[in-house]
Chain A
Amino acid sequence: MTDVITRAEAHTEAPPPVPRGGARERWVRRAPLLPALIFAIVVTQVPFLVTIYFSTLSWNALRPGSKKFVGIDNYVTVLTDNRLRAALLNTVVLTAGAVIFSMILGLALAILLDRKFFGRSIVRTMLITPFLIMPVAAALLWKHGIYNPDYGLINGIFGGSTAWATSYPKTAIITTLVWQWTPFMMLILLAGLQSQSNDVLEAARMDGANAWRIFTRMTLPHLRQYLELGALLGSIYLVNTFDAIYTITQGGPGTATTNLPYEIYQTIFSKFEYGEASAAGVVVVILTIIVATFALRVISGLFKVEEGR
């Protein structure tokens, strides 16, 4: 295994064991961690606690004097209202669609780039470019330059007068996200492919295994943790998608592309229903915790492998 460039499993050894020490020694160890820990708690956890408090209030900023305690009323409203359920469904569809398609495309491109060919680094540079474009700029470019019915690139090349962003809103959003996120998946999967031992693959070839068999029996299992990692990180970033929806569809037509971040954004900044928005925020965090517990198990899977080496 001489030409293993990188192995995710082996790249970090476990930290040295924590020796038992006196209280002083423990505080000396903790000291460098504390500023970051305190900062993270103050800036991320405290606002959330306040959100929980707000969620128990009937509070519309446009109605003076409406700020009063109502217990779980907001939660009842939020959970029985179709809006949040629709937004939840949209979030799942948009996130899953973007993650799955960018993963498939990213895998195909990573396999292509794993071969030696003329100008490989130029192609790699071209392929990562979409990821480096400012997301709002990318969204505006797709909306006005590509999806526009009158002068957009699609109708310009293929003819027709389809208003892509309004006729196929979900597809339009997902396409834009896939375009931006495929490079991300590609880079992670390419790192995975390049960490595969060439000797083992060569041996399998010598034994007469065909390319498909090698791919399904050896490469895919090897890539598994890279696929998991890509899906996990992609979901973390994409579930919060706001830029593309704000710019391309404004959540519409109707509520066809209103995801949870956009729904809560509207409840706060257009309807001024602070209490309801807070309850919706809390529900979203609870859902995230459920998904994240599962997700963290995946990461800690990667983590344990690291420690075991």
Chain B
Amino acid sequence: MSTATAGGRRLQNAAWGVVAWIAGIIFVFPVIWMLLTSLKQSKDVTTNPPVWFFTPTFEHFSTVFDSNITPFLLNSLMASVFSTLIVVMLATPAAYALSLRPVARWSDALFFFISTKMMPVVAAVLPVYLLTVKIGMKDNIWTMVILYTSMNLPLAIWMMRSFLLEVPREVLEAGEVDGAGLITSIRRIILPMVSPGLAATALICFIFTWNEFFLAVNLTDTNASTAPIFLLGFISGRGPFLADLSAAAVLLSLPVLLAGWVAQNKLVRGLSMGAVK
């Protein structure tokens, strides 16, 4: 390749790089706008045209913290952590039985799990709602934990399976030759190798639970309401509410944002249920 075309291509890449930067800024702009709004003085929030330069204030963030946010955060945390733990505990052995030591008709089982993910939640919500009312489990965080577990289980099984299939068979066989029993080979060989996958699976489940809205809005009232429900309380239609709302939205999106940014290389694999690395 001549240097002229190499230089040309570099220039071309730089030009496309500028386009990519512009696209990135456009995409992230609503989020920046949300952040700016959350930092504005109340008088600057509902101006038209918008105010771009202002003395930032944290008063809206303190409003949010004064609005009884703690129970909502605790509920979200409980629902996310416990359902993620249960999902991982159920999905990992199941994925094992669908990959390394497969049961007969493993692909049927695999498709059964994904088909439960395709079923619209609305088709099952009424019996669940009535049952929880009847047995006094409506507005209870453990009900949400169970429902979120079933919501994330198929995803976790598919994902864990794809990680387990990456454990080289030679390593497992070598372990068997050395006399490693099933438990030992799981503990000493398989778990260390799939632990990054396990972490990625847990992260995806955490994200989906933290953000879930439909079940939370229908099955909780006051005791078990999670973070997304907290946001609804800020809609008042009066001018500066937008700043409080933005501050709350920034705060509540923050855990998932940070986790997603840190783990962005794992994100695509989780979202595609392990089909794409």
Chain A contact residues, CB within 8 Å of chain B: 6, 8, 11-13, 15-16, 18, 26, 29-33, 35-37, 39-40, 43-48, 50-51, 54, 108-109, 112-113, 115-120, 122-138, 140-142, 144-146, 150-151, 153, 155-157, 179, 182-184, 187-188, 190-192, 226, 229, 233, 236, 239-240, 242-243, 246-247, 260-261, 264-265, 268-269, 274, 277-278, 281-282, 284-285, 288, 292, 295-296, 299-300, 302-303
Contacts and interface: CB of A to CB of B under 8 A. Distances in A.
B165 A260 contact: no
Interface in B20-55: 20-21, 23-25, 27-28, 30-31, 33-34, 37, 45-50
A267 to B, nearest CB: 9
Given A112-B19, A153-B50, A35 B94 contact: yes
Contact of B268 (A11, A179, A187): A187
A137 B20 contact: no
Instruction: Please list the 9 inter-chain residue pairs (A to B) with the smallest Cβ-Cβ separation, ordered nearest first.
Output: A117-B17, A32-B93, A137-B249, A281-B123, A36-B94, A126-B24, A50-B127, A33-B97, A43-B150
A36 B157 contact: yes
B48 A151 contact: yes
25 contacts: A11-B166, A12-B274, A15-B98, A26-B104, A112-B16, A117-B17, A118-B14, A119-B21, A124-B24, A126-B24, A129-B31, A130-B31, A132-B207, A132-B261, A134-B252, A137-B253, A141-B246, A157-B49, A187-B267, A188-B276, A229-B272, A236-B117, A240-B121, A285-B119, A288-B118
B273 to A, nearest CB: 7
Contacts of A135: 211, 213, 228
B181 to A, nearest CB: 13
A284 B123 contact: yes
B223 interface: no
Nearest to A26: B104
B93 A33 contact: yes
A33 B166 CA distance: 19
A118 to B, nearest CB: 6
A233 B15 CA distance: 33
Nearest to A142: B30
B218 interface: yes
A113 B117 CA distance: 31
Given A133-B253, A156-B49, A292-B115, A144 B245 contact: yes
Interface in B127-176: 127-131, 146-147, 149-150, 153-154, 157, 161-162, 165-166, 169
A108 B46 CA distance: 35
B97 A32 contact: yes
B38 to A, nearest CB: 10
Contact of B165 (A15, A134, A136): A15
Given A109-B23, A264-B122, A277-B126, A44 B93 contact: no
Interface stretch (B58-66, B67-75, B105-113, B189-197): B105-113
A40 B20 contact: no
B43 to A, nearest CB: 12
A179 B126 contact: no
A136 B214 contact: no
- Residue of B130, B166, B245, B268 with most chain A CB atoms under a 10 A cut-off: B268
B257 interface: yes
- Is chain A's interface secondary structure helix, strand, loop, or mixed overall? helix
- Residue of B103, B107, B207, B257 with most chain A CB atoms under a 10 A cut-off: B103
Interface residues of B, number: 106
B122 A261 contact: yes
Interface of B: 13-14, 16-17, 19-21, 23-25, 27-28, 30-31, 33-34, 37, 45-50, 90-91, 93-94, 96-104, 106-107, 109, 111-131, 146-147, 149-150, 153-154, 157, 161-162, 165-166, 169, 207, 210-211, 213-214, 217-218, 227-228, 231-232, 235, 239, 242, 245-246, 248-249, 252-253, 256-257, 260-261, 264, 267-268, 271-277
B206 to A, nearest CB: 12
Contacts of A116: 13
Contacts of A300: 107, 111
A188 B214 CA distance: 26
A299 B268 contact: no
Contact of B166 (A12, A157, A184, A260): A12
- Residue of B130, B210, B232, B249 with most chain A CB atoms under a 10 A cut-off: B249
A15 B211 CA distance: 34
Given A32-B97, A40-B113, A137-B252, A281 B126 contact: yes
A133 B118 CA distance: 23
A50 B128 CA distance: 9
Contact of B218 (A51, A140, A269, A295): A269
A128 B264 CA distance: 8
B27 A115 contact: no
Contact of B123 (A226, A274, A282): A282
A11 B100 contact: no
B30 A145 contact: yes
Nearest to B242: A144
B20 A156 contact: no
Contacts of B33: 141, 145-146, 153
